[in-house]
Amino acid sequence: MNTPDTPLLPNHLAGRWQTGTGRGQTLLDPVLGTPLVRADNTGLDLAEGFAFAREQGGAALRALSYGERAAMLAAVVKVLQANRDAYYDIATRNSGTVTKDSAVDIDGGIFTLGYYAKQGEALGEARCLLDGDRIRMGKDPLFQTQHVFTPTRGVALFINAFNFPSWGLWEKAAPALLSGVPVIVKPATATSWLTQRMVADVVEAGVLPPGALSVICGSSAGLMDQLQPFDVVSFTGSAETARIIRSHPAVAQRSVRCNIEADSLNSALLDPAATEGGEAFNLLVSEVVREMTVKSGQKCTAIRRIFVPRALYAAVAQAIGAKLARTSVGNPRNESVRMGSLVSREQYDGVLAGIARLRTEADVLFDGNGGTLVDADAAVAACVAPVLLGTQDAVAARVLHEVEVFGPVATLMPYDSEAQAFDLIRRGEGSLVASVYSENPDFIARAAAELADSHGRVHAISPDVATSQSGHGNVMPMSLHGGPGRAGGGEELGGLRALGFYHRRSAVQASSAALDALVARGVPFKL
């Protein structure tokens, strides 16, 4: 749908607001189907914009210490907090999310920024990061080597996914800006309004130097072509687009550093010794239901595959289904609604097609669809109710270990031995997170050791942390986010580790006196 009379989102590039000259793409309310705004960047001088960010924004940021940049992040937090109501309104209208799901994105982003503001404050007046101690190079103790990290003199281009228009920007921008690297964000078009509005508020508040933060809405055409050797690109989205990014000449030929966060078939694993109705059993059931329904399952970290001892298969299916049956679905403006819509009708079609593919190998154990939506027209709204699928033969299954359905959908599978459970989980070929539900610390330790190499995060839920655990799918800034293999092979967050992506490591070989002077400018740092 293209509706030229809806407002066009201005892009912020080269330190000024610029409107595209094309018709653009119309962003829709996924519940009501009504047009909201248009995104377009036709005619923008991308080369000028990237050069401005690199030269003006980069120089201004690098002129500051880590502590000063951390204070800037704290100022951004204040701006965003002052405008939260507007962000919630946009999320309801453009993402179709209920308030608590909007919070995961909006407050999650602000929290992450605040975390990096605090962490950066501790780096104080330093201008570079010291990697380990100096090392003697030979017999003469006067000539030594010191490894240092210095911020890269390029821009950070973020190409983001539709499901986290706020958090997706700030979880990347916080470490980039703290490092002294200017940011250009290209949000996914379908939900670019919230990203654009947040950037607009921060730019208008004047808390960042010109060129430090730019936003380009609409088409991605030509963006990768702008990248030069010291730039970095951080991509979040589908494996298919990730392949295009990876093979672009900027990455393949000009060695532009590239971080990829792609899709993932995350798992939940119930201890073989668990019993029906026991603590581990109940913890798994609650967490699976939460993961399937938060943001309508549109989280890259959501649980997609559930592995339980064969004897508990039917009981787990029954318990999950009973809880899912209480999920009211529909218009997020109605307070009785627990789960809003998917982000678009295209995603709706994609999720239904994905369920059909999974059903070639799985039975339906619970399906909340078919009833009426609350305050929403099923022919218009992108609402899909939760669906739990299951198979008795997890080993023979292929599609179930390969296809990520980006919605409120998960598949239950039984295992016959601990070793088989780990093998089945690894058939996801690298995931963002696996969660383990057990009352036994030894089993948790064994599972962690078995699964850590194929997962960015192993999240263990035992009764003693039942109320304090942070959630299988919640990405916390102090903990690593990313995963090997099909999850993209990227790494984000993990506290100050995230700064590594925006810095270059170099070995400085010099006299002790020169290294003393260098070390005085830095702060010890460990990746």
If one asks whether residue 226 binds ligand NAP (CB under 6 A), the answer comes out as no
Distances (CA, A) of 113 to 149, 239, 379: 22, 27, 39
Nearer to ligand NAP (CB atom), residue 280 or residue 300:
300
Residue of the chain from 227, 432, 460, 493 that contacts ligand NAP (CB under 6 A): 432
Q: Could you tell me the two tokens for 495?
A: 């506290």
Least distance CB 478 / ligand NAP (angstroms): 16
Give the C-alpha separation, 313 to 445, whole Å. Answer: 24
If one asks whether residue 443 binds ligand NAP (CB under 6 A), the answer comes out as no
Nearer to ligand NAP (CB atom), residue 90 or residue 317:
90
Residue 383 among the catalytic residues: no
Residue of the chain from 129, 161, 294, 365 that contacts ligand NAP (CB under 6 A): 161
| Binders of ligand NAP in range 266-325 (CB under 6 A) | 300
Beta strands in 217-368, from DSSP E residues, in sequence order: 232-236, 257-261, 266-270, 303-309, 363-367
C-beta nearest to ligand NAP: residue: 237
Least distance CB 277 / ligand NAP (angstroms): 33
Residue of the chain from 3, 220, 275, 469 that contacts ligand NAP (CB under 6 A): 220
Distances (CA, A) of 500 to 149, 176, 178, 492, 493: 8, 10, 11, 10, 10
Nearer to ligand NAP (CB atom), residue 433 or residue 515:
433
Number of residues that bind ligand NAP (CB under 6 A): 24
208 and 53 Cβ atoms separated by less than 8 Å: no
Nearer to ligand NAP (CB atom), residue 226 or residue 438:
226
If one asks whether residue 415 binds ligand NAP (CB under 6 A), the answer comes out as no
Judged by DSSP in three states, 147 sits in strand
If one asks whether residue 406 binds ligand NAP (CB under 6 A), the answer comes out as yes
Least distance CB 241 / ligand NAP (angstroms): 3
Least distance CB 244 / ligand NAP (angstroms): 4
Which is catalytic among the residues 128, 217, 261, 361?
261
If one asks whether residue 188 binds ligand NAP (CB under 6 A), the answer comes out as yes
Distances (CA, A) of 132 to 145, 506, 519: 10, 12, 11
Q: Could you tell me the two tokens for 5?
A: 């009379």
If one asks whether residue 105 binds ligand NAP (CB under 6 A), the answer comes out as no
CB within 8 Å of 220: residues ≥ 6 apart: 159, 186
Residue 261 among the catalytic residues: yes
Residue of the chain from 95, 163, 195, 234 that contacts ligand NAP (CB under 6 A): 163
Contact pattern from residue 121 through residue 160 relative to ligand NAP, giving x for each residue in contact according to CB under 6 A and a dash for the rest: --------------------------------------xx
If one asks whether residue 170 binds ligand NAP (CB under 6 A), the answer comes out as no
Stretch that binds ligand NAP, among 232-240, 460-468, 496-504, 517-525 (CB under 6 A): 232-240
Least distance CB 364 / ligand NAP (angstroms): 23
Q: Could you tell me the two tokens for 233?
A: 């690109």
| Binders of ligand NAP in range 341-370 (CB under 6 A) | none
If one asks whether residue 171 binds ligand NAP (CB under 6 A), the answer comes out as no
119 and 73 Cβ atoms separated by less than 8 Å: no
3-state secondary structure 415-461: ECCHHHHHHHHHCCCCEEEEEEECCCHHHHHHHHHHHHHHEEEEEEE
Q: Got the DSSP string for 378-421?
A: TTTS-----EEEE-S-TTT-SGGGTPPP-SSEEEEEEESSHHHH
36 and 94 Cβ atoms separated by less than 8 Å: yes
351 burial via Cβ count (<10 Å: 0-12, 13-18, 19+): buried
If one asks whether residue 404 binds ligand NAP (CB under 6 A), the answer comes out as yes
Least distance CB 487 / ligand NAP (angstroms): 6
Spell out the alpha helix ranges (H) of 232-312: 239-247, 249-252, 279-293
Structural element, H or E, at residue 310: none
Which is catalytic among the residues 287, 300, 450, 491?
300
Contact pattern from residue 481 through residue 500 relative to ligand NAP, giving x for each residue in contact according to CB under 6 A and a dash for the rest: -------x------------
Sheet holding 363-367, edge to edge: 363-367, 387-390, 409-415, 303-309, 266-270, 431-437, 455-461
Residues noted as catalytic: 261, 300
Which chain residues interact with ligand NAP by CB under 6 A?
Answer: 159-163, 186, 188-190, 220, 236-238, 241, 244, 261-264, 300, 404, 406, 432, 488
